[in-house]
Structure 1
Amino acid sequence: MASKYSMNDRPSWPRRAIVTAGEPYGNKGLHFGHVGGVFVPADFFARFLRDRLGRENVIFTSGTDCYGSPIMESYRKLKENEGYDKSISEYVESNHSRQAATLNNYNISCDIYGGSGLEPAAQIHNEVTAEIIERLHEQGTISKRSTLQFYDAKAGTFLNGRQVIGRCPIQGCKSEKAYADECDLGHQFEPEELIAPKSQLTGEVPELRPVDNLYFDLPAYLDFMKTYTAKLAQNPQVRSVVSKTMEEWLLPAQLYIQNKFREAFDAVEDQLPEHTVLEPEGNKSSFTVTFPSWKERDDAHAVLANGGVRFRSGKALVPFRITGNIDWGVPVPEVDGVSDVTCWCWPESLWAPISYTRTVLARDAKAAGVTEG
Structure 2
Amino acid sequence: MSHVLAAVAWPYANGPRHIGHVSGFGVPSDVFSRYMRMAGHDVLMVSGTDEHGTPIQVQADKEGVTPRELADRYNRVIVEDLHGLGLSYDLFTRTTTGNHYAVVQELFEGLHRNGYIVPKVTMGAISPSTGRTLPDRYIEGTCPICGYDSARGDQCDNCGNQLDPVDLINPRSKINGETPQFVETEHFFLDLPAFAQALGKWLDSREGWRPNVLRFSKNLLDDLQPRAITRDLEWGCRSRSKGGATAPTSASTCGSTR
TM-score bracket, normalised by the shorter chain, equals 0.7 to 0.9
1:111 and 2:90 matched = yes
Correspondence 1:1-373 to 2 at 5 A: 14=2, 16-53=3-40, 57-79=42-64, 86-117=65-96, 122-170=97-145, 173-184=146-157, 185-224=159-198, 236-237=209-210, 239=212, 243-244=215-216, 247=219, 250=222, 316-334=223-241, 337-345=245-253, 346-347=255-256
C-alpha change, 1:222 and 1:62, in structure 2 (3 Å) is closer
- Which consecutive unaligned segments of at least 5 residues does structure 1 have? 1-12, 80-85, 251-315, 350-373
CA displacement, residues 65-97 of structure 1 (integer Å, 9 cap, x when unaligned): 112333222221222xxxxxx422111111111
Aligned length, in residue pairs: 255
Aligned mates of 2:140, 2:76 — CA distance in 1: 31
| Counterpart code for 1:179 | R
Higher helix fraction (1 or 2): 1
| CA radius of gyration, larger in | 1
**Aligned position for 1:295:** none
* Secondary structure of the corresponding residue to residue 61 of structure 1: strand
| Counterpart code for 1:22 | A
| Counterpart code for 1:140 | G
C-alpha change, 1:151 and 1:230, in structure 2 (3 Å) is farther
Aligned mates of 2:182, 2:122 — CA distance in 1: 9
Q: Contact 1:151/1:209 (CA < 8 Å) preserved in 2?
A: yes
RMSD between aligned residues = 2.8
Per the normalisation by structure 1, the TM-score is: 0.60
- Which consecutive unaligned segments of at least 5 residues does structure 2 have? none
* Secondary structure of the corresponding residue to residue 162 of structure 2: coil
Aligned mates of 1:114, 1:196 — CA distance in 2: 40
Task: Report the alpha carbon displacement of residue 126 of structure 1 after superposing the two structures with TM.
Answer: 0.7
Q: Contact 1:150/1:209 (CA < 8 Å) preserved in 2?
A: yes
CA displacement, residues 217-266 of structure 1 (integer Å, 9 cap, x when unaligned): 1223344455567778x9653645x844862772xxxxxxxxxxxxxxxx
Aligned mates of 2:91, 2:170 — CA distance in 1: 44
| Counterpart code for 1:341 | T
Aligned mates of 1:38, 1:152 — CA distance in 2: 35
| Counterpart code for 2:69 | E
Percent pairwise identity: 27
* Secondary structure of the corresponding residue to residue 212 of structure 1: strand
Q: Contact 2:238/2:247 (CA < 8 Å) preserved in 1?
A: no
C-alpha change, 1:144 and 1:26, in structure 2 (3 Å) is same
| Counterpart code for 2:86 | N
Aligned mates of 1:195, 1:246 — CA distance in 2: 31
Per the normalisation by structure 2, the TM-score is: 0.84
CA displacement, residues 143-188 of structure 1 (integer Å, 9 cap, x when unaligned): 1112111111213211111111122233xx2322222242223212
Aligned mates of 1:343, 1:27 — CA distance in 2: 14
Q: Contact 2:111/2:117 (CA < 8 Å) preserved in 1?
A: yes
Where relative contact order (Cα < 8 A, 6+ residues apart) is larger, the structure is: 2
Q: Contact 1:166/1:177 (CA < 8 Å) preserved in 2?
A: yes
| Counterpart code for 2:166 | E
